[in-house]
């Protein structure tokens, strides 16, 4: 740092400008690398159920940094226009998060995906705007206000809920409630047989597999580390059904969506599976 003290005012300003340009260049290169990692689902080989988990737990980004980069990836997917604006820093990470949340809510409310042209028009409208300006514009554009429901529960019940929430990870109250409802509604003992000649899984088979997995993705690394995902769980044939695998408790595993997709890529190849990934 003594070297910096010897620099003239003009030199320190020039060097800082050069470093910032390099920082922006590297930030964009990181985004491109993350996009390719996501395309291949390579993070699944390290035991992570999502690109977010890989960024947060493995690359040690903060939650905000991880979510911001993933928001940028989603927006620039399929759009060179948005990619250019992100590359040239015409829209900030904070505003990208706001835009991604807004698009997600709009698509959920309207039950239709926004076109790439609509996304490009929105980003173009918001480029160069402050965080407060973007928040105001998006609020004005919002389709419908979100309905909130309040539930009164006693302290012992809340304690159980918080305990379960801590076990499943960094998820909000709504996600945790969905886990519990899914377990009750879709993984009960239906009394059916434990094998099937078709791809279809009887309810009792689902129940036994879910109980064996304790409601958690069964992917495990050689060192014993297990994927911690409790959401988006899917039943996957260990020996693929298309390759002669049986539909039985011993040949079905409970995988999160990412590990199911990664297994399919390894079995059938990236080219054949790519159309099913997005």
Q: Do residues 230 and 221 touch, judged by C-beta distance below 8 A?
A: no
Burial class (CB in 10 A: 0-12, 13-18, 19+), 134: buried
Alpha helix stretches (DSSP H) within the chain: 2-5, 9-40, 51-53, 63-76, 80-87, 93-110, 116-126, 131-141, 155-168, 173-186, 203-213, 257-268, 270-277
**pLDDT at residue 156, rounded to an integer:** 84
Least Cα distance to 271 among 34, 36, 40, 37 occurs for 40
CB-CB neighbours of 184 under 10 Å: 9
**pLDDT at residue 266, rounded to an integer:** 93
Q: Where are the domains of the chain?
A: 2-141, 187-277
**pLDDT at residue 190, rounded to an integer:** 44
DSSP 198: S
C-alpha dist (Å) from residue 130 to 63, 73, 93, 137, 272: 22, 21, 11, 11, 43
Output the pTM of the full model. 0.69
**pLDDT at residue 41, rounded to an integer:** 95
DSSP for 19-49 reads HHHHHHHHHHHHHHHHHHHHHHTGGGGGT-S
CA-based radius of gyration for the chain: 23
Residue 87 structure tokens? 């590359």
Each of the 278 residues of the chain gets a pLDDT tens digit; together they read 678 888 899 999 999 999 988 888 888 899 999 999 999 999 999 999 999 999 999 999 999 889 888 988 888 888 899 889 888 888 887 888 889 888 888 888 888 888 899 999 999 999 989 989 999 999 888 855 556 677 888 888 888 888 777 765 556 677 677 767 766 665 544 444 555 567 788 888 888 899 899 889 999 999 999 998 988 899 999 999 889 999 999 999 999 999 999 999 999 999 888 877 76
**pLDDT at residue 173, rounded to an integer:** 75
**pLDDT at residue 137, rounded to an integer:** 92
**pLDDT at residue 261, rounded to an integer:** 93
**pLDDT at residue 89, rounded to an integer:** 84
**pLDDT at residue 273, rounded to an integer:** 87
| CATH assignment, 187-277 | 1.10.30
Please give the Cα distance from 27 to 69 (Å, whole number). 9
Write out the H or E segment, with its range, that includes residue 147. Answer: none
**pLDDT at residue 43, rounded to an integer:** 96
Our separate counts of H helices and E strands in the chain read 13, 4
**pLDDT at residue 184, rounded to an integer:** 62
């Amino acid at each position: 740092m003594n070297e910096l003290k010897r620099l003239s005012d003009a030199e320190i300003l020039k060097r800082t400008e050069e470093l910032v340009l390099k920082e922006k260049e590297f930030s964009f290169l990181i985004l491109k690398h993350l996009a390719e990692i996501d395309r291949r689902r390579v993070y699944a080989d390290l035991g992570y159920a999502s690109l977010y988990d890989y960024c947060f737990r493995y690359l040690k980004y903060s939650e905000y940094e991880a979510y911001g980069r993933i928001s940028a990836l989603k927006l620039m997917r399929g759009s060179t226009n948005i990619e250019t604006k992100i590359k040239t820093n015409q829209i900030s990470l904070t505003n990208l998060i706001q835009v991604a949340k807004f698009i997600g809510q709009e698509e959920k409310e309207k039950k239709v995906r926004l076109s790439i042209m609509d996304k490009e028009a929105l980003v173009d409208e918001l480029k160069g705007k402050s965080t407060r300006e973007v928040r105001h514009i998006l609020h004005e554009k919002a389709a419908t206000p979100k309905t909130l429901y309040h539930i009164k529960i006693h302290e012992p019940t809340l304690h159980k809920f918080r305990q379960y929430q801590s076990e499943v990870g960094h998820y909000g109250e709504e996600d945790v409630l969905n886990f519990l409802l899914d377990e009750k509604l879709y993984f009960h003992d239906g009394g059916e047989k434990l094998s099937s000649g078709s791809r279809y899984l009887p309810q009792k088979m689902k129940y036994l597999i879910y109980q064996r997995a304790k409601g958690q993705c069964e992917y495990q690394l050689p060192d014993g580390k297990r994927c911690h995902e409790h959401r988006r769980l899917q039943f996957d044939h260990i020996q693929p059904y298309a390759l002669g695998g049986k539909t039985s408790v011993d040949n079905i595993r409970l995988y999160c969506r990412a590990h199911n997709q990664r297994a399919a890529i390894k079995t059938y190849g990236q080219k054949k599976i790519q159309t099913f990934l997005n």
